[in-house]
Amino acid sequence: MPDTRHLDKVIVGMSGGVDSSVSALLLLEQGYRVQGLFMKNWEEDDGTEYCTAQADLEDAQQVCRSLGIELTVANFAAEYWDHVFENFLHEYAHGRTPNPDVLCNREIKFKQFSNYARVLGGDFIATGHYVRTSNADNVFRLHKGCDSNKDQSYFLQAVPVQQLQNCLFPIGAMDKPSVRALAKKSNFENHRKKDSTGICFIGERRFRDFLQRYLPEEPGTIQNGEGVTLGEHIGLPYYTIGQRQGLGIGGIRGQPEAPWYVMEKDKDTNTLIVTQTDRDLERTWLAASQLNWLVDDLSFPLSCQAKIRYRQADQNCRLRYRADGRLLVRFTEPQRAVTPGQYVCFYDGDVVLGGGVIEQAG
């Protein structure tokens, strides 16, 4: 059959980073018509060193000039605020710990971006995520990236399968050193640019300082599991399950010289409950809601693997639905610091089955 890829137009989400840059390069080499789109989704208004959007845009422009492709800039700041950031604040205000990167992928990178790409005449969208897809016998599957150190499938678990089916992931079978080497060979100025580790589109800010701009401090007591007051916290949103640093309760008379960890957040009494016993952080099950399945022929009970956080090794578990509609996940081995508001992602080997939001654990 003749190669018709030159007839297909791909809109590449250009972040200014090396991954999206090499993705655009590979698509051009494969014969696609390529156009870049830089998404501006946060209004930098604080004038600090954290504001890197302009530098990212300049990096994206340099790459697109080098490749000879057009770059369009789109502002989705209002959509980001309405569909991602307001949820982010609501979750923190209610004592939970959200993952805005997962929600950002669903609402912005694979929804607003996809809609805008159609306006630009795109047949496909593409991103620099380290994931792969397959479509054997017209059955779509999302797979982990080949580089286990960079696999980003956890962050795509909440994207509806209909949106993923129209996306290309050119670097999913590559490892990061190979991507950087190709960028250097292509004279991309960003070939040594460090990976972004900040909140999706907001950047690498001092988190407590940032959160204090939106949520008031509500001090309360820090207690151990027996109800003994050990100190004072500045507000439950500023702590997460399993946290060790920043508690300010070291060296308590009559207590062992061992680190303290956040075990629980009691929203009703505004109490932060801590422990020095690591086993107190272990949970054998969790319940999840807001489920998004990427495989439609699953039957329950189901044995599979799961991650409750990015970069965690796959954990064996068994799934079944409870009478209240939530999914019950029982783990073969106890899990440390299962955190309400975070996401659990399910796998069958390297195939992503789907995921959901953690509601409770025990």
Residues belonging to the active site = 104, 200
Asked if omega into 340 is within 30° of 0 (cis), the reply is no
Buried/exposed code over 108-137 (b: 16+ C-beta within 10 A; e: otherwise): bbbbbbbebbeeeebbbbbbbbbbbeeeee
3-class SS shares of the chain: helix, strand, coil, % to 5: 30, 30, 45
CA contacts within 13 A on the Cβ side of 41: 27
Tokens of 130: 């380290």
Beta bridge partners of 293: 354
Q: Are 81 and 46 in contact (CB under 8 A)?
A: no
Sorted by sequence, the CB contacts under 8 Å of residue 73 that are 6+ apart come out as 37, 38, 40, 57
Structure tokens at 338: 């299962």
Contact partners, residue 199, CB within 8 Å, separation at least 6? 100, 101, 205, 207
For 93-128, the DSSP string reads HTT----HHHHHIIIIIIIIHHHHHHHTT-SEEE--
Rg (CA), the chain: 22
The answer to whether 71 touches 61, Cβ cutoff 8 Å, is yes
Closest Cα to residue 337, out of 291, 267, 260, 280?
Answer: 280
> For residue 93, which of 231, 208, 214, 271 has the smallest C-alpha distance?
214
Q: Which regions of 148-301 does DSSP assign to beta strands (E)? A: 167-168, 220-224, 229-233, 261-266, 271-275, 282-293
The C-alpha angle 105, 110, 114, rounded to 5 degrees, equals 155
Phi, psi dihedrals of residue 155, rounded to the nearest 5°: -80, -10
Token pair listed for 274: 């801590």
